[in-house]
Amino acid sequence: MAEWKFTLKDLAEKPELLMPGHRACAGCGPATVYRQILKATRGPVIATNATGCMEVVSTIYPYTAWNIPWIHTAFENVAANAAGIETALKIMKKKGKLKQDHVDVIAFAGDGGTYDIGLQALSGAAERGHDFLYVLYDNEAYMNTGIQRSGGTPHGAWTTTSPAGRVIPGKLQYKKPIAEIMVAHDIPYVATASPSHWKDLIKKTRKGLEVEGTAFLHVLAPCPRGWRYDTSKTIEFARLAVQTCVFPLWEAVNGEYSLSAPSKVIALRPERKKPIREYLKGQGRFRHLFTPEFEHVIDDLQNIIDKRWERLLKKCGMD
């Protein structure tokens, strides 16, 4: 797969496809993710968006921040909507009604609309092989509706439906390995990315757009409102997630795993791997873990992160 070459000048001169003036919170991780992703488009593009934070903040009637054709769809069926758009474009081209050689289709959804409510539609579209890029912007809870826990919420995190008390240390379950679940669908491209490593994110977006078939991009998107941190620290926490291997960067091309550069450095120089405590501290959703009764949960989290990291290294042939 050829790598797309670009310069900062190329990105700066590309028209903004998500315009300023939307209603996202200060320090919004998903808004940064969207802008970076849209810098990688290669021509005409249609986006469809599941109900969620970015749908609400970008299209408060009668205004829109979108500078491309954009469709809001229900919480649970953005992948089905993207599949329908892709099929319609294919038929239009077959009938000679579409002048463009190719129109990129991107489906955007948060963790609630992907891990949980939208998994059935996503799995079905992947099984049928529809040609579109699915972007999961993962802020690790249902932020738009009140910070409820999702399948993407980490173990030990406080949410309004997994509150920390004297007995329960936040969410009891562990984060679902959604990207690995998508690799198991035998789709041509799956990758993880972080806005802290913007060049890696933009390159992976372009790869996902260029492959034939369903591509899945899992992007960590910190949320100051739900994670309870200062709005200036979004990129800092996104970077710490990579440095602690809470959210390692990798890609799978036709099922073959490989580490991306930032995580490969940690694999080759393990001393650079930061302890999970550095990522947890400063986030109010984990504040209760730094108490005597719940400090063991930090050790549990470190243990599961280490095990998942070792498993990933083996998949990447780096054991």
Higher pLDDT, 136 or 2: 136
Token pair for residue 114?
A: 């992907």
Q: Which residues contact 292 (CB under 8 A, 6 or more apart)?
A: none
- pLDDT band per the 50, 70, 90 thresholds, residue 101: confident
Whether the Cβ atoms of residue 58 and residue 64 lie closer than 8 Å to each other: yes
- pLDDT band per the 50, 70, 90 thresholds, residue 3: confident
- pLDDT band per the 50, 70, 90 thresholds, residue 215: very high
Q: Residue 1 pLDDT more than 70?
A: no
What is the biggest distance separating any 2 CA atoms in the chain, rounded to whole angstroms? 68
Q: Which residues contact 274 (CB under 8 A, 6 or more apart)?
A: 240, 243, 244
Structure confidence by residue, pLDDT tens digits, 237-252: 999 999 999 999 999 9
Q: What is the DSSP string of the chain?
A: -PPPP--HHHHHHSPPSB-S---PPTT-HHHHHHHHHHTT--S-EEEEEESSHHHHHH--TT---BSS-EEEE-TT-HHHHHHHHHHHHHHHHHTT---SS--EEEEEEESIIIIITTHHHHHHHHHHT---EEEEEE-SSBTTTT-B--TTSPTT--BTTB-B-SS-BS--SPPP-HHHHHHTTT-SEEEEE-GGGHHHHHHHHHHHHHSSS-EEEEEE---HHHHT--GGGHHHHHHHHHHTTSS--EEEETTEEEE-HHHHHHHH-GGGPPPHHHHHTT-GGGGGGGSTTTHHHHHHHHHHHHHHHHHHHHHTT--
Structure confidence by residue, pLDDT tens digits, 129-167: 999 999 999 999 999 999 999 999 999 999 999 999 999
The pTM (predicted TM-score) of the whole model is 0.97
The whole-angstrom separation of Cα 145 and Cα 54 is 12
The pLDDT of 105-122, averaged and rounded, is 98
Parallel/antiparallel/unpaired status of strands 70-73 and 215-220: unpaired
Q: Which residues contact 316 (CB under 8 A, 6 or more apart)?
A: 250, 257, 258, 259, 267
